Homo-oligomer: A and B are copies of this chain.
């Protein structure tokens, strides 16, 4: 059947693609008889571009021995900045709300998958280590960032400096989880310590952010600190309630859910119930003020193989096999889109670059302190420090909140500070995959669970 040469195939494919983009760009679609289409066509072209880019980017980087996720990020950056070359056809992809939601679902599914590969027992084993790593990984970058803020913006308020410190606290566990998964090291003790610490420092970072934002609001409203204290207390209580609640759900409710689910007729019950638990905990984390991915990870953590045995007995696939295709479909959307969010032009502004360089440096150095608290010789200390580096979407969300928060008529995070944070996020995200891969693969002797 292979009548055409590969060159011809690519040629014809390009012709079809050009026609499609022409239709997209000039609205030729549906000029007459637009019986169907509408928003779904925009998403289809977005998914085509993203899935194709993800596979090609991943392939190129894997050929150079780099993790696929880095290729997805870099190719996303290229697509997102094509408008600099006058190619504006992809610009709408960065702002599409549906693609944003699909990307968020992707990272939720990824953390659920990672959580599934971990059990509560294993987490309890690394619990103390993770907690210490998280503490150090929050405190050092926070105060270093505060100092850098004071150094570069001496005339700004102390709250601005604190806010800059806060943007450095939370680890973006998505990148590290993906790298560890790609190189087959997700089940190591090192991986579990990093993942546990990333979840804990996300919570700590959110508490700091909420506290700082609360104080700034109180200052703005001329209210006393009492409002702030109440707010702080409530945020901390909610975070603790969520963690305790998730564990209780896991121990007391999950087995009964699966017993009830076993009685359901129809196909796909195991996957549907698992997705329901994942989405429900992600949602509850969200309304508790935490990141939905924290809930998704918790859901994966509390679901154990023992819950699925009766489903396996009746011939269902394992939950890993069922989740994987959804993950293959949705996860690259998150990473390509994260790359697309980067504005390459910020690289060219010298005054921002200096601030960004120092901020990035303390972001990286600050997390290396994490390796100091590791006592276990079976754990790859350097990998723990490296795995905590990426700041990803959490840092960007923090900076975005700061940009909207006003203090004395000025945004807490100015435009140039925001750019510096973006560069910091970008560099920490880009350096982690190759560094982590190298350290995990060249020093495997220390590993063991």
| Interface, chain A (partner B; CB < 8 A) | 1-6, 9, 12-13, 16, 20, 23-24, 28-30, 32-37, 39-41, 43-45, 47-48, 51-52, 54-56, 58-59, 62-63, 68, 97-98, 100-101, 104-105, 108, 182, 205-207, 209-211, 213-214, 231, 234-235, 245, 251-253, 255-257, 259-261, 263-269, 271-273, 275-276, 279-280, 282-284, 286-287, 289-293, 306, 317, 321-329, 332, 394, 397-398, 401
Contact = CB atoms under 8 A, between A and B. Distances in A.
The copy count of this chain in the complex is 2
B68 A280 contact: no
Contacts of A256: 2, 4-6, 9
B9 A209 contact: no
Nearest to A104: B40
A249 to B, nearest CB: 8
B2 A33 contact: no
A272 B54 CA distance: 9
Contacts of A37: 286-287, 292
A346 to B, nearest CB: 23
Contacts of A398: 35
A88 B4 CA distance: 58
Decide if the interface of chain A is mainly helix, strand, loop or mixed.
Answer: helix
A234 B40 contact: no
Interface centre among A1, A33, A48, A98 (most CB of B within 10 A): A33
B48 A213 contact: no
Nearest to A282: B44
A29 B390 CA distance: 27
Q: Which 3 A-B pairs have the closest CB atoms?
A: A33-B210, A268-B328, A62-B265
Contacts of A394: 35-36
Nearest to A257: B9
Given A32-B231, A37-B287, 13 more contacts: A2-B255, A24-B287, A29-B286, A33-B289, A36-B394, A40-B101, A54-B272, A68-B265, A97-B97, A182-B267, A271-B329, A272-B328, A322-B325
Contacts of A47: 275, 279
A138 to B, nearest CB: 14
Contact of A40 (B213, B275, B292, B328): B292
